[in-house]
């Protein structure tokens, strides 16, 4: 039996509700590459590309609050799940992975966000 994930998964509709209701109290992290951000992005997310992990890992606690709701996004939800796992290991307690990523967000919530 698999152990439960140390983070929560949310769908893109829940993300849209969070973004419209209380974006200032939620930490938003996008782990996609800068060239992916150039293709499609959602306002308010801080870009921390997984490929540049060594460049930003030591600043994670000075940049984000470990006990604040933190939502992580990528293209389809795989890289963001890796980030959520890592954040949980760093003591972050309210980590949420966006299932389906920005691709699902574009398809189901906001078609103005380009798909790639």
Q: One of 12, 40, 74, 104 is an active-site residue; which one?
A: 74
Residue 15 burial (CB < 10 Å; 0-12/13-18/19+)? buried
Rounded-to-integer distance, Cα 70 and Cα 80, Å: 11
Task: Provide the terminal-to-terminal Cα distance of the chain, rounded to the nearest Å.
Answer: 36
Q: Residue 67 pairs with which residues in a beta bridge?
A: none
Query: With the CA atoms of 30, 114, 33 and 41 taken in that order, what torsion angle do they form, in degrees rounded to the nearest 10?
Result: -40
74 is catalytic: yes
Q: Residue 6 pairs with which residues in a beta bridge?
A: none
Catalytic residues: 74
């Amino acid at each position: 039996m698999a152990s439960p994930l140390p983070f929560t998964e949310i769908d893109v509709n829940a993300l849209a509700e969070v973004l419209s209701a209380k974006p200032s109290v939620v930490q938003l992290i996008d782990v996609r590459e800068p060239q992916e951000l150039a293709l499609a992005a959602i306002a308010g997310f801080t870009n921390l590309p997984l490929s540049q992990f060594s460049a930003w890992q030591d600043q994670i606690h000075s940049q984000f609050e470990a006990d604040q709701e933190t939502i992580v996004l990528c293209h389809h939800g795989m890289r963001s799940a890796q980030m959520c796992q890592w954040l949980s290991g760093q003591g972050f307690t309210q980590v949420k992975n966006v299932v389906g990523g920005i691709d699902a967000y574009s398809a189901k919530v906001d078609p103005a966000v380009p798909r790639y």
